[in-house]
Structure 1
């Protein structure tokens, strides 16, 4: 018995780590089977909209994005495109202006990051009478119904709206195909599940819209690497629910191969780790004090990325306890269900899934190799570094 005590303690530790996330995945997956629909006969909310494009050294892609968004604005009839050229050392501002966008240039080498750029834009436009603002990344293309969907959700009472956000260049490499599946889960299925359950869908950093009144109540003073997650927590604190717009999609470029994706993932997952360490204790105290609206964001922070969650389940499976094996196998079944439902929600075919699954072993090893970079990124500043989407390795 004494010899088995360390293994028993390890089992209990792993169960505590994986069980809440596993049950949370199951709940979101089942809820996400239901589509989000708007009431019939809504009159779109009138008023001027501003599409804000934060851009740092995006000369290579900004013309494509501006052209796409300007066409959507012309179709809408009462919207503008405003590019925030933030600390740019290339021709982002000049190209955006030549394409017909309004351009705000910002130069501040001390305060660098997407959150600072957005806060600058919102403050600059605050007194110009806009109904609301829509944030679109500089490497993104949006569907033509983007603004009509946002106006419909505003008319339905939403104060903040998040659209679907998936991958534009999914066919370029095995990594981008896997990124597409990951975003179908994280940016489509889970927000849909939260919305169906009556929770706040979340802010994903790309394709989200806010009414002007929201920024008056909750200024966009989010400066971390994951400024979208940080701002969403502030919205929940203010009891503002984000609605999910299932009817439209924005698609952004993902890094094609190793170097760019490693930088992007380390920044994002390191930022989430920092948010977990900073905010989980306070969220737990609030839940225990009866403020139950903080329970779901706490679960969201506690859920590790699926690759690491699966590795913990594997560790649990290898322990010599029947209970550990049962929990681990159930966990793997729920992860598989989550992935399959995400693929269905994202419209992926069985052939696309087969290609993705052949790449999984290499991906899991790559994720393990990133642990040190993620921990390191959780300690760094918010400096905005453009992700290299074209590098190969």
Structure 2
């Protein structure tokens, strides 16, 4: 009996240690990072970098497009309205089987066509575009998705900042609210706003890098010409951020510049969201260790900051982790485990709640009621299959999503 009791005590001690380490590593660290970024965003200045040069640098805008005939003309017309005579607009019609190329040409844009069913994805299209312009390179390259609307003055803001700072620049990239949005739509938009605006504002206020978010990006030619964009992952923008920060070319955030995309709604969009979620998890597993290794090697604090930033999982997954971890810890208490891991998990949960509420108060309350905000845990439950599928069949490769009209 004594031996059995000793074994039970030992097992409970091991359980306590495992719960403590797991809660600290997987819940406290990301929840603290999220909270710090959300608090810092309250005090963010719009422009942390002084504009010392009002001259407009020679610019090429690259627009990768795959079957975007529905909106390509309106997008390109708004881009052309912001360009000078020295600038160029280049559309990469990538594996298109509609009128995208013809409609783009009708606006006056330069159109190049690419057909390669083996190498599919935005990264390959952009690589093709960069090779096209390398014989007559501009000072700054802007990358804009073909389904994004661009606000007046955006190109001038990001190109001048990229040129003056010598660093990549990310504009604010948000989603337009669809007609008659569902609760899931509103929560998805809020989650994206937290990722692409609130957290980037916080990082900017703290004096750190910006994550690249995929559209509305400007790069000095001296920077973009040194990296490879050829790839098919849905998280190519995050991967590019990692590569640039390691190389010493950390992106910066330009809040006043704004591009907006359309929120995806159909079943294909659900598949694409799964690829984004899986891609982010893959980045955590692969690139965070790489960044920590480079931090030790280079002794640059921004590498550690980026590792911590990427370590924060998608908001829905973080909420799910908090709920499940807290439940497990309190269940463990009933069999004799320490209350400490449960208390720490509860504190981490409070950090997440406070961070989300701060973000909601700034940018979510006009589109998402407090009652709807409380429904987030139920929204999270609908995503459980996405994360379970990552274990058995991870998907992180690019697949163009057909958008609703």
TM-score normalised to structure 1 length: 0.89
Secondary structure (helix, strand or coil) at the match of 1:57 reads coil
Q: Partners of 2:343 and 2:90 in 1: how far apart? A: 54
Secondary structure (helix, strand or coil) at the match of 2:89 reads strand
Matched, 1:161 2:177: no
CA positional deviation for 1:368:
0.6
1:99 to 101, 107, 119: 107
Q: Partners of 1:222 and 1:332 in 2: how far apart? A: 37
Task: Give the corresponding residue for 2:294.
Answer: 286
Inter-CA distance 85–373: structure 2 relative to 1 (3 Å threshold)? farther
Greater mean deviation of Cα atoms: 89-98 or 61-70: 61-70
1:197 to 206, 224, 234: 206
Inter-CA distance 141–351: structure 2 relative to 1 (3 Å threshold)? closer
CA positional deviation for 1:22:
1.3
TM-superposition CA deviations, 1:168-191 (whole Å, max 9, x none): 234533233222211211001112
> Quick check: 1:18–1:312 contact (8 Å CA) kept in 2?
yes
TM-superposition CA deviations, 1:229-278 (whole Å, max 9, x none): 11111101110111100112111011125x13321211112122222333
Task: Give the corresponding residue for 1:26.
Answer: 35
Greater mean deviation of Cα atoms: 202-211 or 166-175: 166-175
Q: Partners of 1:40 and 1:282 in 2: how far apart? A: 33
TM-superposition CA deviations, 1:44-66 (whole Å, max 9, x none): 24332122111112222222322
TM-superposition CA deviations, 1:321-363 (whole Å, max 9, x none): 43233322322222223223333443x3356233642642441
- Unmatched tracts of structure 1, length 5 or more: none
> Quick check: 1:141–1:251 contact (8 Å CA) kept in 2?
yes
Inter-CA distance 155–286: structure 2 relative to 1 (3 Å threshold)? closer
> Quick check: 1:140–1:168 contact (8 Å CA) kept in 2?
no
Q: Partners of 2:76 and 2:367 in 1: how far apart? A: 34
Greater mean deviation of Cα atoms: 358-367 or 239-248: 358-367
> Quick check: 2:281–2:313 contact (8 Å CA) kept in 1?
no
1:349 to 352, 361, 365: 365
Task: Give the corresponding residue for 2:3.
Answer: none
Q: Partners of 2:282 and 2:197 in 1: how far apart? A: 24
Task: Give the corresponding residue for 2:5.
Answer: none
Runs (4+) of structure 1 exceeding 4 A deviation are 38-41
Task: Give the corresponding residue for 1:83.
Answer: 91
Matched, 1:113 2:130: no
Inter-CA distance 316–361: structure 2 relative to 1 (3 Å threshold)? closer
TM-superposition CA deviations, 1:207-243 (whole Å, max 9, x none): 1110111123334345433111111111011101111
Inter-CA distance 128–375: structure 2 relative to 1 (3 Å threshold)? farther
Task: Give the corresponding residue for 1:67.
Answer: 77
TM-score normalised to structure 2 length: 0.86
TM-superposition CA deviations, 1:139-169 (whole Å, max 9, x none): 1111111122113413541421001011123
Q: Partners of 2:56 and 2:392 in 1: how far apart? A: 46
> Quick check: 1:57–1:92 contact (8 Å CA) kept in 2?
yes
2:323 to 308, 311, 314: 314
Q: Partners of 1:355 and 1:227 in 2: how far apart? A: 35
RMSD of aligned Cα (Å): 2.5
> Quick check: 2:319–2:377 contact (8 Å CA) kept in 1?
no
Greater mean deviation of Cα atoms: 39-48 or 159-168: 39-48
> Quick check: 1:93–1:103 contact (8 Å CA) kept in 2?
yes
Q: Partners of 1:329 and 1:351 in 2: how far apart? A: 28
